[in-house]
Amino acid sequence: MSRIIVLGLLFKSPMHGYEMQQILQEERIDLWANLLPNSIYFALKQMQKEGFVKVRNTEKTGHRTRVIYEITEEGKKEFFRLLKGALGTPFRRYPADIYTSLSFLNVLPKSEIRVAIQKNISSLEKDISLWERGKEKKTKHFSMKEPLNAIFENGIEHIKADLKLLYYIKDNLETILNYIKECDEKGEI
């Protein structure tokens, strides 16, 4: 994901890594792209070696030196390839950690399970709030409201689906633990 974002930003305009970081934080791309700040610099260095980006110039501001990168023709080809690949690949992201944990839930004390589930619920509820604020902010300032609404609603609905599962687990913990115990006794899990 970092490669497509970095190349996409450079496709729009030459910039330095810190500027990319600022854009990612301002636009809250970090919420859905799972992109760590250092991964931008790593991607820039790696893609420079591969010939997809090059140094346009270097700026000195105070004690800092900022390297401004631009996309190369090969980088544009790579960007288009990655973009088409991302659009043409079915995306299936599941809360695999929760699915896996359910199989072994009975080894933890109920109190710890409840605390962990509540922590996850609280985190997802905060995420929904962030997404909703982002949606409101973006749709106020941009003319393409319908596509933005669709993107934000998709993200929010995914989070809500995960929340629904967590609430189900929380509300039915005893039943789930009994079911897991039965399955263990039968050797089914």
Tokens in use for 131?
Answer: 């997404």
Whole-number Å distance between alpha carbons of 102 and 121: 16
> For 16-53, what is each residue's pLDDT tens digit?
999 998 888 877 776 677 777 678 899 999 999 999 99
Are residues 82 and 7 in contact, defined by beta-carbon separation less than 8 angstroms?
A: yes
Break the chain into its structural domains and give their ranges.
2-88, 96-186
Query: At a CB cut-off of 8 Å and minimum separation 6, what does 68 contact?
Result: 14, 15, 16, 55, 56, 57, 58, 59
Q: Is 162 helix (H, G, I), strand (E, B) or coil?
A: helix
Tokens in use for 29?
Answer: 């791309």
2-88 domain in CATH 1.10.10.10? yes
> For 119-169, what is each residue's pLDDT tens digit?
999 999 999 998 898 888 877 777 777 888 888 899 999 999 999 999 999
* % of residues, the chain, pLDDT over 70: 97
**Predicted TM-score (pTM) of this structure:** 0.68
Tokens in use for 56?
Answer: 């346009």
What pLDDT score does 34 carry?
72
Q: Is 27 helix (H, G, I), strand (E, B) or coil?
A: coil
Whole-number Å distance between alpha carbons of 175 and 89: 38
Whole-number Å distance between alpha carbons of 122 and 119: 5
